[in-house]
Chains A and B, each alone.
Chain A
């Protein structure tokens, strides 16, 4: 078990476990925290998991964890690991089962005062239009072979079907489509699981939330990305549903069989991996991209359904209920990116599991409209608490492979949360705080209680203080819709 003596503070907010801690570490492990967050890490095994990721073949510089780090399986949630091409490892467990789980931020032209009288109607309309909950299928019926197009084209498929605008795609990471996705690398079972779930929210920690911009920290950047104080916005948090879960399961299983051939010794079977250049590694990457595109399409269809909900609830009541997209980002993904290592531009496979890409100003991967300000980073808080819009920095490029935090991060198990929080009481508490709640399951609501999470403001202070993202705007919840 890792203890206080095993890591040292190397810079403000940065702690490091040296490779001397364990013989199998390829690189040091670094994590971002303040003293309070550091104290919380004693309660789970996330730092041990971080050290395990530092053992992956081909790891470069550091295995990293963001301040929202918490215990997962294999990789910790909040983990970032870059491996060198062509023979470094790609690990399905380094992406997780919910491939391209991510967040989309939509904005309206409406001020809070205009929407306030209709918030309850809006929450009901979104709950009715956006299928949510355990095992809930969607209303989008795919024709034969159309699922392959969803996986190949991602948001591009949604554009062709009339569920998106050009501007939505421009303001989505990778324009909502990872090149090189191969539906043939996806199993029939994964396709079967994904067939009926396009445009569904799912359950667990996934949600749709209506928020108001309650504080602006950077006027210029906020204005450029379309945010002003008092404006009503919407967040969508979900991923690739059963299709992505099955893709990960299939490749974790396949890699168990092939790992011996590569001679990799790993501390945990969930970290199973293959060289990026191997047939197995290439197949996984192609399948992961297919699942990622499915997730982009899924969030895009949900955005379309939210637009319809706004029309239904607000037409004739407000002057302009149109919705535009601020940005859409992934926080469970492996991507081939070029980063500067020891003065050279090097191609890497960057695994982000519960971590957000946070590219700084000047990155060619960003949409033209945002290239000079940096990439918007969307950090949802726990239910009922604030969320944040940040922007990527040049420091994040050099320190964290252009990555930052993805949320608040859990501190309490779902089992404990369910025991200590009463779902109906929590709902009442949220409602009395003026937050409209639509939830399919009260026990599911209890598992996601704010007390089960870290303080998102503290997490954001750390990434802002460490310079790996910068505060732009704070959001306050008005309505939450959960499965």
Chain B
């Protein structure tokens, strides 16, 4: 079980590359990197934000939200995590860019998220898919490619 108290933001360097967008004919695909599961989840959130491309009204107040998720395995946790963030973006227009991971394991996350309501989002993320999803251990840490339905 990883435990972290310090918060990380999408502006901070997350290693060599946090995420990159790959070509996908119909939808959107992100390749996400992280030294560990916690960083992989944060970088995936930052990748999601890059697709949402929020525009904030000047002075939009920051807020914090607690999130606790459990899943069948690490891939499912990644899907659950991104689905939760996409849901908050659609239903409350909340986009989070700072994350305090209080507890992380391959099947569980407990975190405090800070963000702002967006005045406008570039696109809807309809869903996060399991298509060919596999979290792979590399020499540098973890990587996964996740396809999002837009």
Contacts and interface: CB of A to CB of B under 8 A. Distances in A.
Contacts of A245: 126-127, 149
Contacts of B93: 135
Interface stretch (A53-61, A267-275, A297-305, A430-438): A267-275
Contacts of A71: 24-26
B31 interface: no
A246 B91 CA distance: 12
B12 interface: no
Contacts of B133: 269-270
Contacts of B72: 256-257
A74 B79 contact: no
B76 interface: yes
B110 interface: no
Contacts of B83: 249
B129 A73 contact: yes
B124 A135 contact: yes
B118 to A, nearest CB: 9
Nearest to B129: A73
A441 interface: yes
B23 A97 contact: no
A134 B122 contact: yes
A193 B149 CA distance: 16
A316 to B, nearest CB: 37
Interface in B99-139: 120-124, 126-133
A245 B93 CA distance: 17
29 contacts: A44-B25, A46-B25, A71-B25, A72-B25, A73-B27, A73-B149, A93-B129, A98-B149, A135-B124, A204-B123, A204-B150, A242-B91, A246-B87, A252-B130, A253-B76, A253-B79, A253-B80, A257-B72, A268-B130, A268-B132, A269-B75, A270-B131, A272-B130, A411-B25, A413-B23, A413-B24, A414-B26, A414-B27, A415-B23
Contacts of A270: 129-133
A96 interface: yes
B130 to A, nearest CB: 4
Given A135-B90, A253-B79, A97 B126 contact: yes
Is the interface on chain B under 10, 10 to 19, 20 to 34, or 35 or more residues? 20 to 34
Contact of A204 (B79, B124, B127): B124
B126 A98 contact: yes
B127 A443 contact: no
A248 interface: yes
B129 A74 contact: yes
A134 B121 contact: yes
A249 B147 CA distance: 13
A233 to B, nearest CB: 27
Given A97-B126, A441-B122, 6 more contacts: A43-B25, A73-B129, A246-B87, A256-B76, A269-B75, A269-B131
B115 to A, nearest CB: 15
A427 interface: no
A480 to B, nearest CB: 18
A96 B25 contact: no
Given A135-B121, A253-B79, A412-B25, A74 B131 contact: yes
A88 interface: no
With most chain B CB atoms within 10 A of its CB, the pick from A73, A74, A252, A441 is A73
Contacts of B128: 249
B21 interface: yes
Nearest to B21: A415
A272 B133 CA distance: 13
B7 to A, nearest CB: 27
A134 B87 contact: no
Given A134-B123, A202-B124, A73 B147 contact: yes
Nearest to B75: A269
A1 to B, nearest CB: 13
A70 B91 contact: no
A416 interface: yes
Give 9 closest A-B pairs by Cβ, nearest first.
A73-B131, A269-B130, A71-B25, A270-B131, A97-B127, A413-B23, A73-B129, A245-B126, A270-B130
